[in-house]
Amino acid sequence: MKKLTLPKNHLKGLKIYCNKCKKYNPKCNHIDDLLYRVVVHIPGTKNSTKIKTLISKNYEDAVKESIDIIKELKSNDYRDLSTDNDNKEYTMIGAILKYNQYLSGEYELKHLIKKVSEGHRKESLRFIKLFCNVLKSHHNFEIMRVRDVSVKDVSRFYESMESHYGARTFNKCMISLKSFFNFLIEIEKVDMKNPFSVYNSKSVLSTINETITKDEFERILDSIDSSDSLHKLGGKGEVKNMYRDYLKLGFKLFLLTGGRREEVVDLRWSDIYYSGDTYFFMIKNKKVERNQNIDGDFNKYIPINSDLFDLLNEIGYEEKKTSKDFILCPDRNESVLTIMNTLSKSFTFYKNKSGVTKNISLKHLRKTYISWVNQVMGTDTRILTSHSTDGVLKEHYLDPTILDTIQKGMLNIKVFGQ
């Protein structure tokens, strides 16, 4: 049998494919495994294609067959050919771009869009890129297709990540890759098996839920004023100033509201509501809405106890209570994400400067709040920690059951029990 060839100026989309090498336009000598394929780009998309394996074994006949197929596709608005499977031939690069669109909410099939946080999107892509780095050492990555990923590639990646991450992050990494390929298979209908469908996850040891004491918290606040704020970064000798004028207020808001990072940074004066003598924050429960992939009236309620009310009065509650300004850093010139990351990194920095040796970070302020709330509220704690989706607010009316719980929290919750 004569080896298949393509002339210099061949028909666009016509390629030679080796069934043994699993590559287009190969330089191999697997003559019996070579065949012609036509790859047709679908107009209006970046990477979607329709692929048809040809019967013809010489170039002239392959051109005629390809032209007929292209005409049929155009007349059928690029929908499936009756004699072909829905067989998308994504390269790894194209698949990553498509997945990024999906996670960003820019996917063309609107009913399938999945809402995730920006942090989740970036983390997922970071793990996928690490996998790509492993693939590049064994494949021609520029033309590699997703269907060419083998269990050996997964094994190499698994071994690499074992030495790179601890158990918890390792598991997140593997889950991210499994989700990536599930998207290609279930949403994009790529005809393949998920190479990450079976693997051994790592056992995560249970950790002690550390909380922070009043003395430790005050030492961290004091260190903001008394410590050198310059932090030498590793590698290039870069020096970064960790001080911001909003740090103390930010840390106090985390401790006294028990909010997550995005919740605290997004707090506005206009989020304060009252019913009679009961004051509380009512904010969107973004985590619940994101997890359930819907926009709805899912609210979170934070009782304004005496400690929190004193803090709000200290920073101008009477003058600002009707304002829509942010409570933390109202004249901000940094993004929400930058402020969140600054608060996290600066808390750890000043914790170390203060001499507190306990293994705690910014998130432990929320854990401390919830621990003290639980002592007062018991089973009602879930209503105040965003684990409830109950409640309807109409003007200044709140479900009495929730209102009673908020009032109880407002009157009785004392962080550090004082």
> Domain limits of the chain?
14-75, 92-187, 214-417
The whole-number pLDDT of residue 162 equals: 92
Helices 336-354, 247-257: crossing angle, 10 deg rounding: 90
User: What one-letter code names the amino acid at 120?
Assistant: H
Residues 154 and 349: their CA atoms lie apart, in Å, by 37
Longest dimension (CA), the chain: 91
Domain 214-417 fold:
hpI Integrase; Chain A (1.10.443)
Residues 323 and 27: their CA atoms lie apart, in Å, by 69
The strand ranges marked E within 2-80 are 14-18, 23-24, 34-41, 49-53
The whole-number pLDDT of residue 310 equals: 92
Burial of 5 by CB count in 10 Å (0-12 exposed, 13-18 middle, 19+ buried)?
exposed
CB 240 within 8 A of CB 230: yes
Closest by CA position to 202, among listed 174, 181, 180, 179: 174
CB 13 within 8 A of CB 39: yes
Query: 48: which 2 tokens?
Result: 């979607």
pTM attached to this predicted model: 0.54
Q: Which helix (H) or strand (E) holds 383?
A: helix 381-384
Please report, in tens digits, the pLDDT of each residue of the chain (418 residues total). Answer: 678 889 888 998 899 988 777 788 888 888 878 888 888 888 877 777 888 888 788 888 889 888 888 887 787 777 654 433 445 678 898 899 889 888 888 887 777 777 787 888 899 999 999 999 999 999 988 888 898 999 999 999 999 999 899 898 999 999 999 999 999 988 888 888 999 999 999 887 665 667 888 899 999 999 999 999 988 876 667 888 999 999 999 999 999 988 889 999 999 999 998 877 778 888 887 765 565 555 555 678 888 888 899 999 999 999 998 899 999 999 989 999 999 999 999 999 999 999 999 888 999 998 888 777 766 555 555 555 544 333 332 333 334 444 455 555 555 556 665 5
Distances (CA, A) of 377 to 106, 183, 276, 303: 42, 42, 21, 12
What are the start-end ranges of the H helices in 47-191? 59-75, 92-104, 118-136, 151-162, 167-182
Neighbour count for residue 65 (Cβ, 10 Å) = 17
What are the start-end ranges of the H helices in 267-399? 286-291, 306-314, 317-320, 336-354, 363-377, 381-384
CB 274 within 8 A of CB 317: no
